[in-house]
Structure 1
Amino acid sequence: MKTILIATTAAALVLGNSAFAAGANKIPSAKASTVVSDTVLIEAVGATQSADEVLHTTIKVPEQKEMIFDVSMECGLYTNTLVKSKGGTADTSTAEAAVDVNVAYQMLQKDGSWGPKVYALPGGDGKGVTFCQRKQELMAKFQGIFQQCDVTDPATGECLQYGSNTCLITEGVDTNGDGVHDSYTTTLDIDCLAYEEVGLVLSTMNANAFNFVAPNLQAGIYRVAVEAEISSGTTAQAGSSSAKALIGRGSLVVDESRFVQP
């Protein structure tokens, strides 16, 4: 991942974890810190995965204050549903995907290790904020294609060419047994019918932002990380479905502040 690290005071430093144990006290205080990514951070197809860290930075808080985290990211969703029906039987397919975002922070301990992870508000329970979400459901009830298939794709089983013969079966009825048809009956051969299909594909990308807050912080050095979790799920009967979500370019701005106390 290509990232750009920025500190908004001239003397501020943003360091990796390995440098903290040796020189933590040498990190100047900074009012704000920023990290920016210009690449796709997470992409998942048809699966649910645990929260992954996508952006992180560090900041030294000189005294008891609050921190405000401004998280902005591109959020993309792709859902595809296909239904197949014949004989008046309903068919349903669903596809859903979502991206949830959290901000977690840890205080540097005296031994150089990071303390317990704490989640910023809202989402202090670790559930986070939903940046984007979609549930797509498609249902159809079709009679089916009446023409018999003349040419079938051997690889997929799909009909490539329908002929002139239909799935209607006409039979003569001899009511008095004289060998002459007195009437005719027409029935539909359900097994002969081919599926009618309809599909719906939606693909969207938008940029969203949300502010998180960490109240009543002690003075010290903090590691701030943005965590994102992608979830997706699909269901299908005769048809098919797929879902995909991604997090694109994003930024994290950390700003210290002093709130009005009640």
Structure 2
Amino acid sequence: MSKLVSKTIVAAMLAGCFAASAFAQSNGTPSSKATADINTLVKCTMSTATSNDGGAQIPQSCVNLYTGAEVATQNEWVTIMEKPVKLSNSQSLVVSPSLVTGLYTQTRTKTSTNSTSTAQAMGGVYMKAVLTDDAGNEIVAAPLSSCSSGVLGCQEVAGDWGVQLDTRIQTLTQSLSTCTVMDMTGTTQIGTCDFTSIIDLVLNTTSAHTFNFVFPNVGQGVYTLSVKAAVASGASVIGSGTAVGAAAFGLGSMIAESVRFVHDFEF
């Protein structure tokens, strides 16, 4: 190889390296194969319902159950982890966030003879991953891009689909029939009786969950990767009783990695 050709090749390589470096510096985001983030934000929500049940002891708020702040409005998405990512052509992004969730449900029925009472409480924690380009356009991750109301595990919150990390619906129903007093032979009614029965059921659980989100064939550019979570609660009473439903999320982590899937990959 002549010195002229050798110098030409070296110059071309240096020019290519300089151009790639200039592109990375111009947008302020270095190229990388992976990124990560953590979450220590604690958010919670609680709903209560009570009817003719003055003796019930219920928490004052979800903050009494979980160390954290209440959400301004339940069923809204809260950004808990966020990182910039830079992708080249034909690259896809695999995101694996993990989150600790907590659910609290209390159902208490107070039922007298010849009546029925039902108390129901629910709590839920949902999560989604969002990729946003420089223009503000959001890319929906798979499998959420295939979600519908008929798919188990999909949950719509504020118009956007998320995955159900943790949900519970607790229902307690109690019925008491009419009470009668019979004579010694058991054939003649000689009076009636009246009493009240109270049943209280409380469940409090904390667990950790991981879910994988995939952004296939995103395209070259700089994006903002966000992981968002939402909480929901509900409570209702028919008859006499008390219901409390609460949900919370806390400690979490996220790992995102750029990959190249097989040619023409699609779900």
State TM-score, norm by structure 1.
0.68
Any stretches of 5+ residues in structure 1 without a counterpart?
1-22, 110-114, 147-166, 169-183
Q: Secondary structure at the match of 2:261?
A: coil
For residues 109-151 of structure 1, give each alpha carbon's deviation from its aligned partner in whole angstroms, at most 9, with x where no partner exists: 4xxxxx211221111253121101111111112369x9xxxxx
The residue number in structure 1 matching 2:12 is none
Give the RMSD, CA atoms, in angstroms: 2.5
For 1:51, which of 74, 77, 82 is the aligned residue?
A: 77
The residue number in structure 2 matching 1:121 is 142
Higher Rg of the two aligned structures? 1
In the TM superposition, 1:44-193 aligns within 5 A as: 44-46=45-47, 48-109=74-135, 115-124=136-145, 126-142=160-176, 186-188=190-192, 193=194
Partner Cα distance (1:203, 1:117) in 2: 36
Kindly indicate whether the alpha-carbon contact (under 8 Å) linking 2:113 and 2:195 is maintained by their aligned counterparts in 1: no
Kindly indicate whether the alpha-carbon contact (under 8 Å) linking 1:103 and 1:120 is maintained by their aligned counterparts in 2: yes
Paired residues, number: 196
More strand by share: 1
Partner Cα distance (1:101, 1:185) in 2: 60
Any stretches of 5+ residues in structure 2 without a counterpart?
1-24, 48-72, 148-159, 182-187
Kindly indicate whether the alpha-carbon contact (under 8 Å) linking 1:122 and 1:128 is maintained by their aligned counterparts in 2: no
Q: CA deviation at 1:94?
A: 0.8
In the TM superposition, 1:202-221 aligns within 5 A as: 202-221=203-222
Per the alignment, do residues 143 and 84 of structure 1 end up closer, same or farther by CA in structure 2, a change over 3 Å counting?
farther
For residues 63-102 of structure 1, give each alpha carbon's deviation from its aligned partner in whole angstroms, at most 9, with x where no partner exists: 3300000010001111000001111322111111111211
For 2:29, which of 18, 27, 30 is the aligned residue?
A: 27
Partner Cα distance (2:237, 2:35) in 1: 46
